[in-house]
Structure 1
Amino acid sequence: MIVGLAMDLAAIILLAYGLYYRRHHRRDLLFAYVALNVGIFAVVSLLLVQRVDIAVGFGLFGLLSIIRLRSSEITQQEIAYYFVAIVLGLVNGIAAAWPTTALLLNGVLLVVMYIADHPGLLGRTRHQVVTLDVVYADPELLRVDLESRLRARVLHCVVTQVDYVRDVTVVDVRYVVPQGSARDQTRARAGVR
């Protein structure tokens, strides 16, 4: 169990501090990833050490599955980090049986997260919810206005809300920042996506 705990702590520190926090700078989620990971590790280790009925194990994981992330809105990237934090806790919790396999899986998970969330990989693509003070009947005029305001090429936009009384349109926009733009260079230096 000590080997599994050491591997788990090393893996979650690399994931949470080395990858997530350096790229996304959300301290609240950093704490959540570490706490969730260590909690999963403790539960799995306890279930392996103490022989309990399988129903208890299913009950514990059922309890974990109903936890909702209510505090603030999180992105799909952050959900992926949650998932990997859970998997690392599970893998390292059973590491006593197969420490070499657990070490290999830790490495694979961390390398995949490093590559998949690397700022250089599709780093110029952005997502934003935009509220406009105008309502467009023509989708092409909407696209032209968004490109003008964002100073970027719009890849996809979906109108999520229209208020004809206040003349307001809410649009979910995916766009590409032009290469070499001041905004792109500033975000790249900061490691922000």
Structure 2
Amino acid sequence: MDLPVIAVDLVAMLIIAYALYYPRHRRKDLVVAFLVVNVGVLGVSTVLAQSTVGAGLGLGLFGVLSIIRLRSEEISHSEIAYYFASLAIGLIAGLSTTITATMLIMTTLIVIALAVCDHPKICARSRRVTVRLDHAVGTDSEATIACERILGIAPEHVTILDIDTVNDTAHVVARYRPQVTSPVTIGGES
């Protein structure tokens, strides 16, 4: 393994973790996870690429470990994308013996994809909340009205997950965009 390959991997991951993910999502625990997963995959894929043990076996073990970790706490789909990017960049670097155009292009493409696809101005932030309504509703419009009453804002989309007519409740998922509040002014200054 070439030290410049490791440097490319680490620079890409520092950009992903500290320039993209943390400023947008503010979860320090996942920054650590992304970096450690990347370095771990980089190390294992480097060793597997140079050994007689099948790379498929090693990568399969990492896949199982990743699935277990991802299932142990609820994280968003965008955070799963960051995990996948960490794994992919580690694999690309670990299986590369020197810096190649393909390695640089694929690593850069992953970083750019995260930067663009998770940008708040391109994909406006929305929230998802699961609500247990205190009365059974049968239509999306009824669920929308009930969620608006609870949330104080009209949801953009409501999905009824289940209706319990015995207990007169409904379980729904509502997606909405939080209202942007204007800054508070004190003494005429903002």
TM-score (norm 2): 0.82
CA distance in 1, matches of 2:86, 2:127: 25
Structure 2: which 5+ residue stretches go unaligned? 184-190
CA distance in 2, matches of 1:86, 1:139: 39
**What pairs with 1:46-125 in structure 2 (closer than 5 Å)?**
46-48=47-49, 50-53=50-53, 56-67=54-65, 68=68, 69-125=70-126
Give 1:165 deviation, angstroms.
5.2
Partner of 1:189: none
Counterpart code for 1:59: L
SS in 1 for 2:131: strand
**What pairs with 1:19-34 in structure 2 (closer than 5 Å)?**
19-34=20-35
The answer on whether the counterparts of 1:8 and 1:92 sit within 8 Å (CA) in structure 2 is: yes
SS in 2 for 1:3: helix
Partner of 2:42: 41
Give 1:98 deviation, angstroms.
4.1
CA distance in 2, matches of 1:138, 1:91: 49
The answer on whether the counterparts of 1:3 and 1:95 sit within 8 Å (CA) in structure 2 is: no
Counterpart code for 2:27: R
CA distance in 1, matches of 2:139, 2:51: 65
Give 1:166 deviation, angstroms.
4.7
Cα pair distance change 1:77/1:124, threshold 3 Å: closer
Partner of 2:129: 128
CA distance in 2, matches of 1:163, 1:154: 22
CA distance in 2, matches of 1:111, 1:139: 38
Give 1:135 deviation, angstroms.
2.0
CA distance in 2, matches of 1:112, 1:138: 38
CA shift digits 1:116-171 (9 cap, x unpaired): 00111231433221222222234322212223433434332222244445543221
Q: Does 2:159 align with 1:158?
A: yes
CA distance in 2, matches of 1:97, 1:84: 20
CA distance in 1, matches of 2:168, 2:30: 36
Counterpart code for 1:64: F
73-82 or 118-127: bigger deviation: 118-127
**Which structure has the higher relative contact order (CA within 8 Å, separation 6+)?**
1
Structure 1: which 5+ residue stretches go unaligned? 187-193
CA distance in 2, matches of 1:44, 1:138: 51
The answer on whether the counterparts of 2:92 and 2:103 sit within 8 Å (CA) in structure 1 is: yes
SS in 1 for 2:35: helix
CA distance in 2, matches of 1:113, 1:137: 39
Aligned pairs, how many?
179
Partner of 2:186: none
Counterpart code for 2:113: V
